């Protein structure tokens, strides 16, 4: 699924013991991994789309597309 700037999404994260948590957030940036340098910098394969998301508390995170979903 492709997202756009300002989209309201649900981010899925795992803690150190593998528990999954979901948090609502907004897309504030989109970064495609387009070349070898990007792949090394972000540690994701070429073709991955990374989204910067902002949470209600003001924190943000860079997350791959597969860790986001639309809210229900």
Domain assignment present for 29: yes
Domain assignment present for 24: yes
**What is the strand order of the sheet 20-32 is part of?**
60-64, 49-54, 20-32, 8-14, 68-69
Domain assignment present for 49: yes
Residue 48, SS3?
A: coil
- The single residue listed with the structure tokens 């597969």 is 66
| Domain count of the fold of the chain | 1
Tens-place pLDDT, residues 11-66: 998 878 889 889 999 999 999 999 999 999 999 999 999 999 999 999 999 999 99
pLDDT at residue number 44: 96
State the residue range of the domain holding 49: 8-69
Q: pTM score, two decimals?
A: 0.88
Q: Is the pLDDT of residue 6 over 90?
A: yes
Task: Return the CATH number at 44.
Answer: 2.30.30
């Amino acid at each position: 699924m492709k997202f756009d700037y300002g989209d309201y999404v649900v981010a899925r994260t795992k803690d150190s013991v593998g528990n999954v948590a979901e948090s609502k957030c907004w897309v504030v940036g989109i970064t495609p991994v387009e070349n070898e340098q990007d792949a090394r910098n972000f540690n994701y394969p070429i073709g991955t789309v990374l989204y910067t998301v902002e949470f209600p508390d003001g924190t943000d995170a860079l997350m791959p597309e597969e860790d986001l979903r639309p809210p229900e």
